Amino acid sequence: MIKTTSKTTEFDHFETLAQEWWNPDGKFKILHTLTPIRISYIKNKLFDKKYSKKSLSNFNILDLGCGGGLVCEPLARLGANITGIDFIKQNIIAAKNHAKKTNTNIEYLHQDINNLKLKKKYNAVLILEVLEHIEDWRKIIIDVKKLLKPGGKIIISTINRNFFSKLFAIFIAENILNWIPRNTHTYSKLIKPEELRSFLNKNKINVTDVTGLIFNPLSGQWMLDKNNYLINYFCTAKKSS
């Protein structure tokens, strides 16, 4: 999770939850449920369904707003070189402690997303459930572009902005189902897919995929759907060579 530039209440909100990251039945239970499908999407988009620990040994991935490392660890076990960054120090401490317990080699850094100090370039940057907490998400994308190697990819997951997302992703998910803690999202910060697509393409980070993430109440499972990004969605874009 990432600190906002003007709303410290949002930062304080995530700071108080830092110890919950690796409790599968805790405040981040929904992220534990989503982790397998997120990893599946990332693998398919980054590695074109062809990957191995050997081929990923020199593949550098940056997870921006890594939280407690729920995505970092599975990718590290696939053999990639993972760097996880989060503004909240307690998140990084939790991530480091868990990586030590699982003997997983990950570089975790406590840095501000608005003032990144990184020397190397990355094959891919992940920005998962982060942009909707940022005051100026466009600036973040421009900064991230500088960190990508030519042909490198950005993978984003975020929430659409419309009546349905306000109802289901905020009101019902936070206040009725308790899938996520209350006050996690601010409606005005949500991003429409067409806004994201337009900005990425304009800045020569060409969108190659937009896929919806939907919950099936009958099966109780999350699924990917190319035709339904009414609420949650992934976006993959590739930096021009």
The per-residue pLDDT for 186 is: 84
Place of tokens 């304009």: 202
H-helix or E-strand spanning residue 176: none
Establish if 34 belongs to a structural domain: yes
Strand order in the sheet with 122-128: 107-110, 81-86, 60-64, 122-128, 148-159, 232-239, 205-216, 221-225
Helix segments in the chain, DSSP class H: 8-15, 29-47, 72-77, 89-101, 137-147, 163-165, 193-202
Q: Specify the higher pLDDT residue, 220 or 11.
A: 220
Antiparallel, parallel or unpaired: β 205-216 and 232-239: antiparallel
Average pLDDT rounded to a whole number, residues 9-38:
80
Q: What is the mean pLDDT of residues 99-128?
A: 95
Tell me the residue range of the domain where 222 lies.
8-239
Per-residue pLDDT, 2 = 45
Residue 1, in any domain of the structure? no
Confirm whether 205 is domain-assigned: yes
More confident residue, 9 or 180: 180
Instruction: Give pLDDT, residue 37.
Output: 95
pLDDT of residue 131 exceeding 60, the answer is: yes
The lowest-confidence range among 52-61, 91-100, 138-147, 222-231 is 52-61
| Closest residue by Cα to residue 92 from 114, 112, 71, 66 | 66
* Residue 83 tokens, joined: 């760097």
In this predicted structure, the answer to whether residue 211 has a pLDDT above a threshold of 80 is yes
What is the band of 49 on the pLDDT scale with cuts at 50, 70, 90?
Answer: low
Phi, psi (rounded to 5 degrees) for 130: -120, -45
CA separation for the pair 146, 152 (Å, rounded): 10
In a domain, 65, yes or no: yes
Q: How many domains does the chain have?
A: 1
Question: In whole angstroms, what is the distance from residue 144 CA to residue 126 CA?
Answer: 10
Residue 2 lies in a domain: no
180 inside domain: yes
Contact 230, 190 (CB under 8 A): no
Largest CA distance in the chain: 47
List pLDDT tens digits, range 59-99: 999 999 999 999 999 999 988 999 999 999 999 999 999 99
Confidence bin at 26 (pLDDT 50/70/90): confident
Report field, pTM of the whole predicted structure over 0.85: yes
- CA 115, CA 122: separation in Å to the nearest integer? 17
User: Any idea what the CATH number is for the domain that residue 91 is in?
Assistant: 3.40.50.150
Q: Residue 29 has what pLDDT?
A: 86
Residue 3 in domain: no
Residue 227 inside a domain? The answer is: yes
